[in-house]
Amino acid sequence: MQRLIQDADRLPHALYRAEQVRALDRAAIEDHEIPGAGLMEGAGRAAYRLLRQRWPRVRKLTLVCGIGNNGGDGYVVARHAHGEGLTVRVLQLGDPQRLRGDALEMATRLQETGIRLEPFRDLPEATDLIVDAILGTGLEREVIGDWARAIDAINAHPAPVLAIDIPSGLHSDLGRILGTAVRAQATISFIGLKQGLFTGVGPDCCGPIHFDALQVPTAIYARQLLSACRLDWTKLRGLLPRRPRSANKGRFGHVLVVGGAPGYSGAARLAGEGALRAGAGLVTIATHPEHAPYLNLTRPELMCRGVAGPEQLEPLLARVQVVAVGPGLGQEAWGEGLLDRVLATRLPLVVDADALNLLAAAPVFRDNWILTPHPGEAARLLRTESDAIQADRFGSIRRLRERFGGVLVLKGAGTLILGDSHRPIGVCDGGNPGMATGGTGDVLTGLIAALLAQGLDPEDAARAGVCLHAAAGDAAAIDGERGLLAGDLLARIRPLANPPTKSESSFPEG
């Protein structure tokens, strides 16, 4: 019976750098005597199975192949497609005289079926699907010349695209485009998932990701430490067990949200309500006196206190377990004074928004805080440009951790989480573009603060908070991504943050 390609929700959680996957490939060949041609044949068969599953009506297939192993996988796809009666064209990039090893063997097998390798000049108008088998995971320099023109032609063509192993032009470690990159409607990866597929522009280029381990022995994976790991809420929701019947509000922590300068009260309100919905026992908002009296008019469960200056924070700080500072704080004297007083306490902190911008001007190293910058804020913290942050998100979060300590959350597509433990960088591949709107980051700040107040360690609170936030955003986007509001997430948090209710039928009768 054919093995099924793994669906996106059943992908492995382990992520690797390209050099690590190459080492896994070598171990399978050299130590377990699996022929390289056998792995290539398996990859091509798996890609063809996925092609038929996703696009069963395809009759005219165009493959664009390079001269490396990625092209070899494409030749296998072409051979199987031809064998099942599809009309197949193989467009060759690079000199076929330079084909070597397993790729040359697969090209020879293909040509023995009567399919010839045509030099790439342009894509045929009449094709149902394009297979990208141009460049693999070893790409390190910008794509130029005929290779770039081919990728641009693929992206301009109306036919859908299946990328083999990785979309050509995407850096497999960094998740950034090297000049130009294929924008695929699906990608199938082999042996080990590459970390760059899941962050930066990786998700834009890949479409849904599928995986096949090619039946390599599981023992080979023990030789490689994970470079990163995929996170999702279904795996992390166990950090929030069912509450005991004897629970009281004091058991679940008191969160203080500090923020809401004049004109920005909504940010503090969203953070506060996010904390309540994620299960904090009590939430107080310390905000500007101008709007404190009415900030909780439609959410009376929030306690609001007007604070004109840092000295008025003293009694509030004495009663809470966690402080979330930054939503709507502003960068004027009022907000700066409040942040200085918050930084003087030893309470655990969640720091976001304007508090990060103020911190960029006067850096502090601290162990017991969670910083949640988006790329622009991260750039200010590291005194660089946001493009530099996005060009190497994994390196950027490591530099942030070295400079500021604690736990770092680098937001964006494929949010990254890094703490002071020996765990690999966490990558949340949930969420959607509808969440790219004002206020969603404030909700996240409240979620993380609430989980911290309920007893999770800082790294677990950050990981779980990010994934809960993403899952709520995906649930809220069921009616469409465009027009999604930060407040739409709030109603989705509670059902996600609670364990499934046990059926009454699980109890014995009588």
Rounded to 5°, the CA angle 231-237-239 comes to: 100
The reply to whether 342 and 254 lie within a common domain is: yes
Instruction: Give the range of the structural domain holding residue 126, as residue numbers without chain letter.
Output: 11-225
Tally the domains of the chain.
2
The reply to whether 199 and 257 lie within a common domain is: no
The reply to whether 331 and 449 lie within a common domain is: yes
Q: What's the DSSP call for residue 219?
A: G
Tokens of 69: 């192993």
Tokens of 269: 């309100």
- Per-residue pLDDT at 9: 52
Sheet of strand 129-133: strand arrangement = 117-119, 87-92, 60-65, 129-133, 161-164, 186-190, 209-212
Query: Alpha-carbon distance 238 to 252, whole Å?
Result: 16
The reply to whether 206 and 238 lie within a common domain is: no
| Length in residues, the chain | 510
- Per-residue pLDDT at 388: 97
The reply to whether 376 and 431 lie within a common domain is: yes
The secondary structure of 392-426, three-state, reads CHHHHHHHHHHHHCCEEEECCCCEEEECCCCCCEE
The reply to whether 140 and 274 lie within a common domain is: no
With a cut of 50, list the residues of the chain below it in pLDDT. Answer: 1-8, 504-510
The reply to whether 240 and 210 lie within a common domain is: no
The reply to whether 480 and 365 lie within a common domain is: yes
Helices and strands: H and E segment counts in the chain: 17, 19
Amino acid 15 reads L
Tokens of 260: 């809401």
Residue 478 neighbours by CB under 8 Å, 6+ apart: none
Residue 506 lies in a domain: no
What dihedral angle (degrees, nearest 10) is formed by the CA atoms of 199, 202, 208, 214? -90
Residue 3 lies in a domain: no
CATH number at residue 39: 3.40.50.10260
The reply to whether 221 and 241 lie within a common domain is: no
- Per-residue pLDDT at 442: 98
What dihedral angle (degrees, nearest 10) is formed by the CA atoms of 309, 315, 321, 322? -10
- Domain end (from 194, 225, 256): 225
- Per-residue pLDDT at 504: 38
CB atoms within 10 A of CB 151: 25
**Nearest by Cα to 116 from 137, 88, 95:** 88
**Nearest by Cα to 189 from 170, 171, 169, 206:** 206
Backbone angles phi, psi at 374, to 5 degrees: -85, 175
Query: Alpha-carbon distance 253 to 319, whole Å?
Result: 10
